[in-house]
Amino acid sequence: MTLAGKRFVGVPSRLADAAIVPLDSVSQSDTAGSGFHVNNRRPARRDPRPDLPFRSDRESMPSIRYLAAADVSTAMVPLPERLALAEKTLRAFGGDSEMPPKIGVHPRQADSVAHAMPALLRGSAADGSDDSIGLKWIVGFPNNPAIGLPTYHALLLLNDPQTGVPLAVMDAGTITAARTAAISGTAIRLFMPDTLGRPARVAVLGAGAQARAHLPIIGYLLPGASVRLADREIDRANALAAEAGILGGAAAIEVVPDVRQAVEGADLVVSVVSFGPDHQSLDPEWLGPETLFVAVDYDMQAPAQLARAAFFVVDERAQFLATRSESWFVGYPDPDATLGEALRGAAVDEAGRLRAARRSGRVLVAHLGVGLADVVFASAILARAEQLGLGRVLPL
């Protein structure tokens, strides 16, 4: 691998994913006790803090917990648990869940999105006490980075599953990034080609919020991996590469000037570029015969030709079919499988790795984002936030 003219930043592998989970601000006992279980314990319904006015009035009033972005980051579950939550979400489709395809409106800025994403997960209690019900509202404006703002802003509302009383409102930016990267993690666990002991070669296309969230997952699941990072704005790629040490991403990150140089020779491609007018830009000839391509950005890079030739997997079939249109996924076939189906058919190999039943040739996993994952993550985060006393409890 030549380094001439390219930025190369060596970083230790398998570091804590500090950018998403500042665990130093979480007590040891809480971290140790969190395990892999989604705690759906209902939050306290009364404001315990004596300093708020009208406390006596609120003794009889329902309240709601507001978690700002920093609270959500502090309460974020550790990376292995995030992978478990993603898996739990994907397995729930077709069974213990309800999630209509996203609905949206269309703000004036080109390629902007505004989506409402309701979801329900049924727990095991017959009275519904451990169900989760909620809604994410996410709005994205691709011109925002030019004025110093994140592309996406999102809020998430959780309700009591037995009464409908609102329980919490929280910032969902960090949740969106974390749950999306964790779903990609499931795809990697299921479909990563065998590199026969050689460290994996990974291409990350786009160097924004999603790329930042994916680096810790890549570093955790593929220790020793080397990453080539391409962004049309090379300063963004250089900035992310420089940050990668604290993100705990990969063994090495190399910034390359274009998509082709990033993907050639890659075992895994993670595509996270912004929405824009030019869809399906990547030439599949640049990809290896066994490449796993994880498309987080719909069809911005992955062409229909790749989807038709590869084993083609989505996160949720109905939502993919509702999205495929004259604007999105033009020419794409019906999916061969969903991630949930692949999980149900998967086996653990002798090395303890989860492997999908089918894995030969290229695999394209397009996950469009499921509100159910947001609700599952938010329920776990709310439980931790209550334990840690985070956020503000407000009267309804």
* Contacting residue, 209, 314, 339, 376, with ligand NAD by CB under 6 A: 209
Place of tokens 């290229």: 362
Nearest approach, Cβ of residue 46 and ligand NAD (Å): 36
Select 248 or 391, whichever has its Cβ closest to ligand NAD. 248
Q: Say how far apart CA 61 and CA 92 lie, in whole Å.
A: 34
Residue range at the interface with ligand NAD (CB under 6 A); choices 19-27, 29-37, 87-95, 209-217: 209-217
152 part of the interface to ligand NAD, by CB under 6 A = yes
Q: Say how far apart CA 385 and CA 387 lie, in whole Å.
A: 5
104 part of the interface to ligand NAD, by CB under 6 A = no
Q: Say how far apart CA 6 and CA 387 lie, in whole Å.
A: 46
**Residue showing the smallest CB distance to ligand NAD in the complex:** 208
133 part of the interface to ligand NAD, by CB under 6 A = no
Place of tokens 């759906």: 40
Helix (H, G, I), strand (E, B) or coil at 65: strand
Q: What is the DSSP letter of 80?
A: H
* Contacting residue, 22, 62, 128, 145, with ligand NAD by CB under 6 A: 145
Q: Give the angle subtended at the CA of 295 by the CAs of 113 and 214, to the nearest 5°.
A: 90
Select 272 or 393, whichever has its Cβ closest to ligand NAD. 272
Q: Say how far apart CA 295 and CA 141 lie, in whole Å.
A: 20
Contact set for ligand NAD, span 223-282 (CB under 6 A): 230-233, 236, 259, 272-276
303 part of the interface to ligand NAD, by CB under 6 A = no
Say if residues 181 and 213 touch (Cβ distance below 8 Å). yes
**Length of the chain, in residues:** 396
122 part of the interface to ligand NAD, by CB under 6 A = no
Q: Say how far apart CA 367 and CA 387 lie, in whole Å.
A: 32
176 part of the interface to ligand NAD, by CB under 6 A = yes
Q: Say how far apart CA 63 and CA 395 lie, in whole Å.
A: 4
117 part of the interface to ligand NAD, by CB under 6 A = no
Letters for 308-347 (x = contact with ligand NAD by CB under 6 A, - = none) are: ----------------------------------------
Place of tokens 């309240």: 63
Select 373 or 390, whichever has its Cβ closest to ligand NAD. 373
Select 65 or 367, whichever has its Cβ closest to ligand NAD. 367
Nearest approach, Cβ of residue 179 and ligand NAD (Å): 8
Query: Total binding residues for ligand NAD by CB under 6 A?
Result: 29
Look at the alpha carbons of 290, 292, 298, 301 in this order and tell me if their dihedral is positive or negative.
negative
- Starting at the earlier edge strand, list the strands of the sheet with 363-366: 7-10, 252-255, 226-230, 201-205, 268-271, 292-295, 363-366, 311-314, 337-338
Nearest approach, Cβ of residue 62 and ligand NAD (Å): 32
Strands 268-271 and 292-295: parallel
294 part of the interface to ligand NAD, by CB under 6 A = no
The packing angle between helices 173-191 and 79-92, to 10°, is 80
Nearest approach, Cβ of residue 24 and ligand NAD (Å): 25
Contact set for ligand NAD, span 358-387 (CB under 6 A): 367-369
Give the distance, in angstroms, between the CA of residue 290 and the centroid of all CA atoms in the same chain. Answer: 24
Select 100 or 276, whichever has its Cβ closest to ligand NAD. 276
Radius of gyration of the chain (CA): 21
Nearest approach, Cβ of residue 295 and ligand NAD (Å): 8
Select 218 or 300, whichever has its Cβ closest to ligand NAD. 300
> Which residues are at the interface with ligand NAD (CB under 6 A)?
145, 151-152, 176, 180, 205-211, 230-233, 236, 259, 272-276, 296-297, 300, 367-369
